[in-house]
A and B are shown apart, each in its own frame.
Chain A
Amino acid sequence: MALSPEPDPGPPAVIELIDVKKTYRSGTLEVEALHRVSMRIDENEFVAITGPSGSGKSTLMHILGCLDVPTEGTYLLSGHDVSAFDEEQLADVRNLFIGFVFQQFNLLAYMSAWRNVELPLIYHGVHPAERRERAFAALEKVDLGDRAHHKPGELSGGQQQRVALARALVTEPAMILADEPTGNLDSASTADILDLFHELNEEGRTIVLITHERDIAARAQRVIQVEDGNLVPAGVELLATGVRP
């Protein structure tokens, strides 16, 4: 993707949010989950997002993953205004560029683990034999090679979470967005997964993950703190090097 024409002093920004607002509307009730959030994440960064429950972390992540659209403001992905993309372009961005791990896993209950992992490759146009091979390799990476033929209902919460992670990795995306990817794991597997994220980061991928755990946040290059729909000043300070005045 071409870079934005704006003057850009640092390394290229993969993600740039400018005054992004998100309001949920259910009937007459309005909930403003994000208030004018601006931030940027550079290529090959490893960023942790933390904050209390209900502060708007998942909301932010969904917008970053092109799964939801901001109510107001601009989201530039590699310099491109996402709101200008049509449905097909958005689908391709999600498929080719982003690996997303959902807080609720979102696995298809009627498919075995490896078939779930294979899904994004189908939309990628990968040949069936290669799909199977890559799905099994991804499951192997999250230490679930022996559970490939189990359906989600036959797996523990931690195992389902790792299947969801494998599904995000299988396309080898440039950016991995993970919403509490270790929320259901013990400390041993958490350490393994964290190592995996670092490995992926060293390969050149941009990693953004939401976590509640201090030691995970500590291993990230940068921590973005969300509170009540706002980024706390530490995050804003880091953004000071960015384009926005």
Chain B
Amino acid sequence: MNWRDTFRTATDAVRSHRLRSVLTMLGILIGISAVVLTVGLGQGAKAKVQDQINELGTNVLVVSPGSTTSSTGSRGGFGSASTLTMQDAAAIATKRAAPDVTAVAPVSTTSVSLLYSSTNWTTTLTGTTPAWKTVRSRGLTEGRFINAADEQRAAAVVVLGPDTVTQLFGQVDPIGRNVVYNGVQLQVIGVLAPLSSNEATSNNDLAIVPIATYQQKLIGGSTRNAVSSIYVKATSAGTLSGAYQETDALLLNRHQITTATSADFNIATQQSILSAATSVDNTLTVMLAGIAIIALLVGGIGVMNIMLVSVTERIREIGLRKALGARPRLIRRQFLVEASILGLAGGILGVALGVLGAVLLPQFSDSRVIISVPASIGAIVMAVGIGVIFGVYPASRAARLAPIDALRSE
């Protein structure tokens, strides 16, 4: 009996016991697709965070306002204070105080509604300096970025993100046209190049104005000098920690804080943002993996159950085959191939369903799913393993019985 005969015998048995085969495959299928999808979701979330952090630019530090300590001693949360000022940004930008810093961009942001002819679009209005383009490593597809002259005279000009342009202008060339915010006409002077992100990102949907314009003409208020955050770009990856220390020391000094722990600002590196986000993600991944493993376990128990019942049912068949001259090895092999076919078919269908889910899910929610090849292969191997253990083990035990004992079993 060669492998082809074994294979045909096994496929015959699989086809003849249709319901049993379908149920076995279903158990495997559900387990595998759950594994593929949940692992994919976890990896997708991780990749998304990674993308967002990369969109900050390279070798960038983000300084944000820290907590304030009120006179009563109660501390506000991070970001509750507006302790960072334009002067802080200017100080960090001085070569002497911070030699490892190449560019500094203070940023103030507010969510606003812009109007072009009759189209309204809500976007992030960002007031910043010309250095922003360098710090964030962004390019332009059209026009020019804001410059020092715009900054000086608080010019009513705006640079738009590519998504913002699409929303407001459609096919119309925006350069030279005016958008209106709160009655103020802003002339579009440039369009940012899109970041190659997989999803819509806020980094492709924004409106940049000179920070002077932002503070004097558009947003105003009592804290005119305050900024939402300061982006600091180090000269290279090697000088990033130097830049960190210089910025830290400078700001502590400027804010007259003697103990580092009571700092009223917070400096984040891309690495620290990443590790904070990843730790949250890892928890999520572990949780998802737990769910997947439970699904696989439930599927596996189903498969195990069906296999055990099926082999018990077929001990008479095993006895007959032995009586007709099948060596025990061939019987084991037949059940091995049978279990592998079921496991493999269920596994492949499960991965296919998982991939289908990975394609469909992002259409309905903003989650990204990345199919992990090792996880998929691992899941299939596990499925085949379950089938083999619970199909082949009882079969090979039955194959050791005297044919007549096997034939007489109920």
Binding site for B on A (CB under 8 A): 62, 65, 67-69, 87-88, 91-92, 94-96, 100, 102, 106, 108, 110-111, 115, 119-120, 122-125, 128, 167
Contacts and interface: CB of A to CB of B under 8 A. Distances in A.
B330 A100 contact: no
Contacts of B17: 110
Interface string B298-326: 00000000000000000011001111111
Given A68-B404, A122-B1, A91 B327 contact: yes
B323 A110 contact: no
Contacts of B1: 122-123, 125
Identify which of B9, B325, B404 gathers the most chain A CB atoms within 10 Å of its CB. Answer: B325
Given A110-B16, A111-B12, A122-B5, A68 B405 contact: yes
Contact of A123 (B12, B316, B327, B402): B327
A233 to B, nearest CB: 29
Which of B5, B329, B402, B403 is packed against the most chain A CB atoms within 10 Å?
A: B403
A124 to B, nearest CB: 7
Contact of B324 (A62, A88, A120): A120
A110 B402 contact: no
13 contacts: A68-B403, A87-B327, A92-B327, A94-B322, A102-B407, A106-B316, A108-B317, A110-B12, A115-B12, A120-B324, A122-B5, A122-B9, A123-B324
Contacts of B317: 108
B315 to A, nearest CB: 12
A110 B1 CA distance: 20
B325 A94 contact: yes
B242 interface: no
B357 interface: no
Contacts of A167: 324
B13 interface: yes
A94 B324 contact: yes
B320 A96 contact: no
Given A68-B402, A119-B321, A122-B1, A91 B328 contact: yes
Contact of B323 (A94, A115, A122, A128): A94
Contact of B13 (A69, A95, A110): A110
A100 B16 contact: no
A67 B402 CA distance: 6
B330 A123 contact: yes
B17 to A, nearest CB: 7
A122 B2 CA distance: 9
Contacts of A102: 323, 407
A95 B405 contact: no
Interface band, chain B: 20 to 34
Interface of B: 1-2, 5, 9, 12-13, 16-17, 316-317, 320-330, 400, 402-405, 407
Nearest to A99: B324
A128 B1 CA distance: 10
By secondary structure, the B interface counts as helix
Contacts of B322: 91, 94
Contacts of A65: 323
Contacts, number: 69
| In the A-B complex, the 3 residue pairs with the closest CB atoms | A95-B325, A110-B16, A68-B404
A106 B323 contact: yes
A120 B17 CA distance: 22
B323 A123 contact: no
Contacts of A68: 402-405
A92 B2 CA distance: 16
Nearest to B403: A67
A68 B323 CA distance: 10
B320 A108 contact: yes
Contacts of B13: 110
Contacts of B316: 106
Given A106-B320, A110-B17, A122-B5, A91 B407 contact: no
A106 B327 contact: no
Contacts of A122: 1, 5, 9
A92 B325 contact: yes
Nearest to B399: A87
A123 B326 contact: yes
Nearest to A171: B325
A106 B12 contact: no
A108 B323 CA distance: 13
A111 B320 CA distance: 13
Given A110-B17, A122-B1, A100 B323 contact: yes
A43 B317 CA distance: 31
Contacts of B320: 106, 108
B323 A67 contact: yes
Contacts of A91: 322, 325-328
Contacts of B402: 67-69
A22 to B, nearest CB: 11
Contacts of B5: 122, 128
Contacts of A88: 327-329
A28 B328 CA distance: 30
Contact of B404 (A67, A110, A120): A67
Contact of A119 (B324, B329, B400, B407): B324
Given A102-B407, A106-B316, A120-B324, 19 more contacts: A67-B402, A68-B403, A68-B405, A87-B327, A87-B328, A88-B329, A91-B322, A95-B325, A95-B326, A100-B323, A102-B323, A106-B320, A110-B12, A110-B16, A122-B9, A123-B326, A123-B330, A125-B1, A128-B5
A128 B403 CA distance: 25
A120 B402 CA distance: 17
Contacts of A111: 12, 16
Contacts of A108: 317, 320
Nearest to A98: B325
